[in-house]
Chains A and B, each alone.
Chain A
Amino acid sequence: MTGELTTTTPVARGVEAPAAAPGRPGGARSRGARRLPPSLVVGAALVGFVALVGLVSLFWTPYALDDTGTGERLAGPSAAHWGGTDRLGRDLLSQLMTGAGNALIVAAASMLVAGVLGVAVGVLAGATRRWVDVTLLSGVDLLIAFPTLLLAMLIVTVRGASLSSAIWAIGISGSAVIARVTRVNVARVLREDYVTAAHASGTGWWGTVLRHVVPNVWPTLLVQLMLLGGGAVLAEASLSYLGLGAPPPNASWGRLLQEAQSTMLVQPWGAILPGVAIVVAVLGLNLLGDGIRERTDPNLRGDR
């Protein structure tokens, strides 16, 4: 259908317009392609904002995290404490800012873990022999069935509660999904005629994987990873909420929520602000994923 809409072929006069107009995509289309999807813009802005705040928190926060200050506890927002204070009188905004950094570090690092592990397993399963596929897939299925929380508890028992334990737990359980998506897409690309054509003109396994499979699979994977990143922010918050994340004084949105739970009626900001922060980060990553899909999926591109 798209061909029907976008290409106009002058009919045969012995020459089918060899150089004349090889696929002039039409002004409308190239303009459309350059216009970024709104979800991409909004998603990038939200994630960028959270990242910026997190980055700033590495160098500067309004107060030190363990600074109980004047001892003004459970105060609402004020000129001195924009986000108010917690039950020990610590500045909430400072904790939120640090929490942003941690949330994104966990998201990025677990995306990396999931990406590397998942893609390796997925490519091996999709592009090699059948018994490898079957073996790896049963492992992946086992991992998918295994609750992230249980895995996290196991890892924490072995390594102790820390940021890196959370990263490993989230990354490993996320890798199962990435492996599945990779495998399906790899298998799809391998069935394409252009791969057969490549084989028939002497391209080997590595050549096929690097030249055809990876370029055709990565956009889908990137989207999946972004969604995983959103999930990772949530997972990190849940783990910290349960005390399985980074221990204090390192701040985490999940732990802020947990601490604010008992004092919510006195100082609602303590629960609202971390809640909003989580929503912003997760929404941002999901929108970013959607935006990348819209931008890279050739089926969604074109003049609409």
Chain B
Amino acid sequence: MTALLSVEDLTVTTSTGRRILDGVSWSLDAGGRLGVVGESGSGKSMTALAVLGLLPEGMRATGRVLLDGEDLLTLPPRRLAKARGGQVAMVFQEPLTALDPLMTVGRQITGPLRLHRGLRGGAARDEAARLARLVHLDDTERILGSYPWQLSGGQRQRVALAMALACEPRVLLADEPTTALDVTVQAEVLDLLDDLVDRTGVALVFVTHDLPVVARVARDLVVMRDGRVVEHTSVGAALAGGEAAYTRELVGAARAVTGLPTSGGPR
């Protein structure tokens, strides 16, 4: 059985010849949930950008990024743009910078609908409302008519998710999507992601430095360090004591810092 998205020997070099990613390989099945964890500088975000062909200027990627057997790295720009958004969508850490401040939320959601799915007028508006309900933006009418700055951080991230899902992508790449949020809001967004993957069947790649967060939504785990994959395993195996010493360190550090000190505390 072939994977939906597979990254093979992905290497990214800067113009000065420094390797930011070095032979990164992993794969994701349809409907899969992959967590990519690592510290700052591990290359985890760079991996996500490279998959989308969104590398910063001057950087070069080699290797293969296969989506359904088609190599995204060699795709001509127009078809890549189509794949991006249409097949693979992305959600970023800070939704406010990803949203246009001068456009209402409704128009931002209908934008990709028009572009990728050819929906117009009433049909586009209905679909936008459906998407808003999908991400549990319950006060739909009001929210679609608001500007991003009128919304809370959690609502903005939901809007970003709705936009990402607008084109019914097959892969959702989320880069630290909950890091900027409050804990209670983070918990809600994680539940939402969990629910969306279940309901829409979209495959999830969740990039974060936060192991406890990723453990909540991912099934498989890629541990990265210094641009390399240290371990590609399941979340359960990693938590039970991964093969790599580094994985065990990460798990240990996370346990030490996020464990509530009283055992009687509620989960």
Contacts and interface: CB of A to CB of B under 8 A. Distances in A.
Whether both chains belong to one complex is answered with yes
Interface of A: 1, 3-9, 11-13, 26, 28, 31-32, 303-304
B15 A303 contact: yes
A7 B39 CA distance: 10
Contacts, number: 45
B58 A8 contact: no
B45 interface: yes
A220 B250 CA distance: 42
B115 to A, nearest CB: 27
Contacts of B226: 8
A9 B41 contact: yes
A11 B18 contact: no
Given A11-B249, A12-B253, A304-B58, A4 B16 contact: no
B18 A303 contact: yes
The majority secondary structure among interface residues of chain B is: loop
Given A8-B226, A28-B17, 17 more contacts: A1-B56, A4-B41, A4-B43, A4-B46, A5-B14, A6-B41, A8-B41, A9-B39, A9-B40, A11-B250, A13-B249, A26-B18, A31-B16, A303-B16, A303-B18, A304-B14, A304-B15
A54 B41 CA distance: 51
What interface size band does chain B fall in?
20 to 34
Contacts of B43: 4
B40 A28 contact: no
Nearest to A8: B41
A4 B47 CA distance: 12
B149 interface: no
A99 B225 CA distance: 62
Contacts of A31: 16
Interface in B11-48: 14-18, 20, 39-41, 43, 45-46
B51 to A, nearest CB: 16
Contacts of A8: 41, 226
A28 B18 contact: yes
8 contacts: A1-B56, A3-B41, A5-B41, A9-B40, A11-B225, A11-B246, A12-B253, A13-B249
B57 interface: yes
A178 to B, nearest CB: 29
B40 to A, nearest CB: 5
By Cβ-Cβ distance, the 8 closest A-B pairs, closest first, are A28-B16, A8-B41, A303-B16, A7-B41, A12-B253, A28-B18, A11-B249, A3-B40
Nearest to B18: A28
Contacts of A9: 39-41
Interface string B230-267: 00000000000000001001100100000000000000
A1 B46 CA distance: 9
A303 B14 contact: yes
A227 B14 CA distance: 32
Nearest to A13: B249
B118 to A, nearest CB: 35
B16 A32 contact: yes
A28 B19 CA distance: 11
A8 B40 CA distance: 7
B94 to A, nearest CB: 12
Contacts of A1: 45, 56
A3 to B, nearest CB: 5
A303 B15 CA distance: 8
